Amino acid sequence: MRYPSLRAPLDILFLVCCVALTADVLVPEIWGNGKTKDYPLWFWAGQQVLRGRDLYPSDPNAHFDFIYPPLPAVLLAIPAYFGKIPLYTCLSFLNAAAWWMTGQLSNAMTGSGRIPGPWLFALPGFATVTFVFDMFDLGQPNLVLLAMMLYGFWLLQHERPWMAGSMFALATAIKVFPVAVFPYLVWRRRWAAAAGMVVFSGIFLFLLPAPIRGYQHNFSELRTWYQGMVASSSEQGFGQRAEQNWSWVNQSIIAVTHRLTRQVNYNQDNPAKTAAYMNLLDLDFKTANWVVLAISLALGLGYIAVMPARSRMTPRSNAEELGILFCLMTVASPLARQYYFIWLFFPMTILMHRAAYDPRAAVRAGSWAALAIAGLLMCLSFPVFPNDLQAYGNNLVATALISGGLVWHILHPPSAGSVASVAPGIGTLESDM
């Protein structure tokens, strides 16, 4: 793992971007009217822990300001003790470090056996820079979670399964949707990693906050959080943000399927907007959920079907398999807002390596074409385009296209001779991590 170098122009550009993005966070707080978005909420949560106050209302059906498990609030309390600016600086530094780590780990885990040149190394960062901006601007942790998950799989590949399980557990204890990795670990019979994830999830959710919050207080808050966030679902929505569940901002499989199969207003996040609908069918809520279940089952079985047997696994196929997993985890989350798709960083990096290094010219051209189309689809999220395009799931379709490209590569690997002729020194980059 290398650090940014002041002798590398692209590394300098990375540092300049980090400084500019951090300024976007700190300047409004120091010289303006205060940073908005989620930052004041993180400070509030940290202060609630420091003062021994409740994070959630006693009624799980009431509105939650803080919709995450107690552990993130406990972690936020440490920098929040020193004030808003130290907290915001800490969060910005974590995002910058996660951005660098994500680039390092993604390029190391493509299975191509090639050390990419600086431009190829940086290309996934350029392609996802708008998502990275959202991470800094909003203060969301998805980029940090991505780095955690990638590091977990890097540890797993280097036969440190318990440490890998702890990283998966920490990501899940911060924001629940990474829990989707657990069925994968079970299916691949990575028992130690799965056990580590279960054990450390218990530690992070129950034991770690207990000395600070009190065991009974923490347990009570966990129960309230679970009832209000995980166990709540109805025709109006799920969790604590019903106005976002079915609206255009949500591009998860669940949301897009419901918008296409029943009459739900995808402008419901803004009451000032005219109601708009896009349903092709007019199903009831229960039937639409059955459609979601059928689609999810089909995707899961399809994923299992393309997984190579253990005896046929290679570094290339393993990378492609994980890339598809990251795509599925992103869109399987009940709420997948724009910034969630930062998790495409890793799958896109794999496909870029295939586009650059596959020995077959036609395959290289096809891979670049798939990436270009996916990039154009993601550009439809820019504010100059109507929200209707996002309502139809432009990022969801882009994710499907990238995932489909990785599926094709799993099913059509190059011959061993052709790979050896263009990719000497396989594993060099991985051994340097």
The string of pLDDT tens digits covering residues 24-57 is 999 999 999 999 999 999 999 999 999 999 999 9
Local confidence band at 266 (pLDDT 50, 70, 90 cut-offs): very high
Local confidence band at 432 (pLDDT 50, 70, 90 cut-offs): very low
For the cut 90, the answer to whether the pLDDT of residue 397 exceeds it is yes
Mean pLDDT comparison of 76-90, 216-230, 242-256, 258-272, highest-scoring range: 76-90
Local confidence band at 419 (pLDDT 50, 70, 90 cut-offs): low
For the whole model, what pTM was predicted?
Answer: 0.94
Give pLDDT, residue 273: 87
* CA dist 271 → 9, 243, 249, 267 (Å): 47, 9, 14, 7
Query: What's the mean pLDDT when you consider all of the chain?
Result: 92
* CA dist 401 → 132, 323, 397, 398, 404 (Å): 21, 12, 6, 5, 5
For the cut 80, the answer to whether the pLDDT of residue 213 exceeds it is yes
Give pLDDT, residue 233: 67
* Of the candidates 174, 201, 198, 173, the residue with the CA atom closest to the CA atom of residue 185: 198
CA distance 347 to 363: 17
Q: Would the CA dihedral through 157, 161, 163, 165 be positive or negative? A: positive
CA distance 247 to 268: 6
Give pLDDT, residue 240: 66
Q: How much helix, strand and coil, in percent to the nearest 5, is found in the chain? A: 70, 0, 30
* Of the candidates 108, 132, 112, 148, the residue with the CA atom closest to the CA atom of residue 2: 108
DSSP secondary structure code for residue 238 in this structure: E
Give pLDDT, residue 234: 66
Task: Count CB neighbours of 123 within 10 A.
Answer: 21
Local confidence band at 62 (pLDDT 50, 70, 90 cut-offs): confident
Give pLDDT, residue 231: 73
Give pLDDT, residue 145: 98
Q: What percent of the chain has pLDDT over 70?
A: 94
For the cut 50, the answer to whether the pLDDT of residue 209 exceeds it is yes
- Looking at residues 193-200, what average pLDDT do you find? 98
Local confidence band at 427 (pLDDT 50, 70, 90 cut-offs): very low
DSSP secondary structure code for residue 60 in this structure: T
For the cut 80, the answer to whether the pLDDT of residue 238 exceeds it is no
Q: What percent of the chain has pLDDT over 90?
A: 85
Residue with tokens 């997993």: 325
* CA dist 416 → 14, 208, 316 (Å): 36, 49, 11
Label residues 199-229 b or e (16+ Cβ within 10 Å = b).
ebbeebbbebbbeebeeebbbebbebbeebb
- Give the length of the chain: 433
For the cut 70, the answer to whether the pLDDT of residue 393 exceeds it is yes
For the cut 50, the answer to whether the pLDDT of residue 425 exceeds it is no
CA distance 240 to 141: 18
Cβ 279 vs Cβ 259: under 8 Å: yes
Give pLDDT, residue 205: 95
Local confidence band at 418 (pLDDT 50, 70, 90 cut-offs): low
Give pLDDT, residue 423: 42
Local confidence band at 421 (pLDDT 50, 70, 90 cut-offs): very low
Residues 6+ apart with CB under 8 A from 408: none
- Asked which of 148-162, 185-199, 382-396, 414-428 is least confident by mean pLDDT, the reply is 414-428
CA distance 184 to 433: 24
CA distance 361 to 345: 24
- Looking at residues 11-16, what average pLDDT do you find? 96
CA distance 194 to 180: 12
For strands 237-238 and 233-234, give the pairing: antiparallel
pLDDT per residue over 316-369, tens digit each? 999 999 999 999 999 999 999 999 999 999 999 999 999 999 999 999 999 999
Give pLDDT, residue 399: 98
Q: How remote is the C-alpha of 379 from its chain's centroid?
A: 18
Residues 6+ apart with CB under 8 A from 429: 107, 108, 113, 114, 115
Residue with tokens 């803080």: 66
Give pLDDT, residue 244: 78
